A and B are shown apart, each in its own frame.
Chain A
């Protein structure tokens, strides 16, 4: 069975001279902006779900590996291979197993962010000063209390930095998710890749989305680490 990736004609070349001559047409963009709304929503969903699931998995892995150091090498190697396999290849490798659609795209996107978040969480935990941990133990904190009240909070800047990288990267990779049949802004780019107005709007929305998520996570970081700016 062969599914053709439909190359849809989204511009009426005879309509007006700007669109017909393939210029950059603000009028066309205003009139046709609604065709980008659904793909944008799909794109946001693809990204947020992938980062959330990826974070849940790799944060857990990092907490376990933080105590059992021998796990670091195998986890890094396995997630490293998942990170290296190009997502467009991953989509088609998964196709016979999970079929076309959202799930396939998510598996590939999640597998890509694991290494990024795992490494950053672990680096954050490892960078907690020994003196601080000693002080916590001296105050009678148990290992669990030490982890959640001292080590994780102090690792937050690195953890959030990992989330920012993961989010912006995923926005980029999700533009290829239409190859897995999951839509997104990439489908709009692909629909007419030679039409300037289309490429600018669809590509521009992806860039704006990446920047917005980045800013949002940075803001969240400021809110959860109020002490960070205090001694600057």
Chain B
């Protein structure tokens, strides 16, 4: 009973930390409070956002292009396998030791972390588009660029967004250890616990966890929003009965040769 109360007390203190400033246990400054937590959250999102923007700008066009020409599948598919095998702490440590600390260097490290899932999903997204749909588009006289923009991209969007979701959550999680590379984020109370105290560290853990869940939920909603209506009908999702019954004709899928 008293143990339970002690645990609740620690979580209570952490919530207090988020809302109220208090003197640092190390002395000197005040820590905690909404203003500071908001500031740390903003820095956290700035770092993660910059990395995600650059990663998307590189990986989405590259994945679409490789998928469209049907080449580089080995690279695109294995990118995420290799990416998974490199621990994020090892990647950041490598950057700290060899390339340097600071916002730009760390952003680059996070970009490397974020690219593989987006690249793999963009490539797979294009490859799993029914070849008949692409052939039909070509038969209608579309150019290669038009096919990418108006057929392959819309049909691949749900998978691309799936990749962006995986990367975004991973980048937000990894931005927590950014203070090791000299960038102050929500990880600061976790890494520098002597300045913020135990309740500050727990408070940061709570905020980081909430942030990741919120980002996952928001991107999940966006993913559903960008899924073309035709794809939703095909999967029987959405709940509404289509005005015209949609039936997919099973076609032997051509194997992707990699």
Contacts and interface: CB of A to CB of B under 8 A. Distances in A.
B197 A2 contact: yes
A135 to B, nearest CB: 20
Nearest to B90: A203
Contact of B94 (A87, A96, A203, A214): A203
Given A2-B25, A196-B97, A203-B94, A89 B87 contact: no
Contacts of A96: 6-7, 10-11, 202
Contact of B194 (A4, A97, A168, A193): A4
Interface in B186-233: 187, 190-191, 193-194, 197-198, 201-202, 204-206, 208-209, 212-213, 216
Nearest to B7: A96
Nearest to A87: B173
A87 B208 CA distance: 10
A89 B89 contact: no
A89 B205 CA distance: 4
A194 B97 contact: yes
A1 interface: yes
B7 A199 contact: no
A84 interface: yes
A81 interface: yes
A173 B96 CA distance: 19
Q: Which of B90, B91, B94 has the most CB of A within 10 A?
A: B90
A168 B78 CA distance: 13
Interface in B144-180: 169, 172-174, 176-177, 180
Contact of A93 (B86, B89, B177, B206): B206
Interface in B59-114: 81, 84-91, 93-94, 96-98
Question: By DSSP majority rule, is chain A's interface helix, strand, loop, or mixed?
Answer: helix
Contact of A189 (B90, B172, B205): B90
A210 B176 CA distance: 23
Contacts of A95: 202
Given A85-B213, A88-B176, A172-B88, A5 B193 contact: yes
A76 to B, nearest CB: 12
A176 interface: yes
Contact of B86 (A84, A97, A176, A207): A207
A194 B101 CA distance: 10
Interface string A158-178: 000000010011011101100
Given A85-B213, A86-B212, A88-B190, A169 B84 contact: yes
Contacts, number: 135
Contacts of B93: 189-190, 193, 199, 202-203
Interface residues of A, number: 48
Interface string B6-43: 11001100000000000001000000000000000000
Nearest to A96: B10
A5 B221 CA distance: 39
B85 A2 contact: no
Q: Which of B93, B94, B205, B208 has the most CB of A within 10 A?
A: B93
A55 interface: no
Contacts of B180: 190, 193
A32 B194 CA distance: 30
A92 B202 contact: yes
A93 B94 CA distance: 28
A21 B213 CA distance: 43
Q: Which of B7, B94, B174, B191 has the most CB of A within 10 A?
A: B94
21 contacts: A81-B213, A85-B209, A88-B176, A88-B187, A88-B205, A89-B205, A89-B206, A92-B202, A168-B85, A169-B84, A172-B86, A173-B87, A175-B88, A186-B89, A189-B90, A198-B97, A203-B89, A206-B90, A207-B86, A210-B84, A211-B85
Given A96-B202, A172-B89, 16 more contacts: A2-B194, A4-B194, A86-B212, A89-B204, A91-B205, A92-B204, A93-B206, A96-B10, A169-B84, A175-B87, A190-B89, A190-B180, A194-B96, A207-B87, A210-B84, A211-B85
Interface of A: 1-5, 22, 80-81, 84-93, 95-97, 165, 168-169, 171-173, 175-176, 179, 186, 189-190, 193-196, 198-200, 202-204, 206-207, 210-211, 214
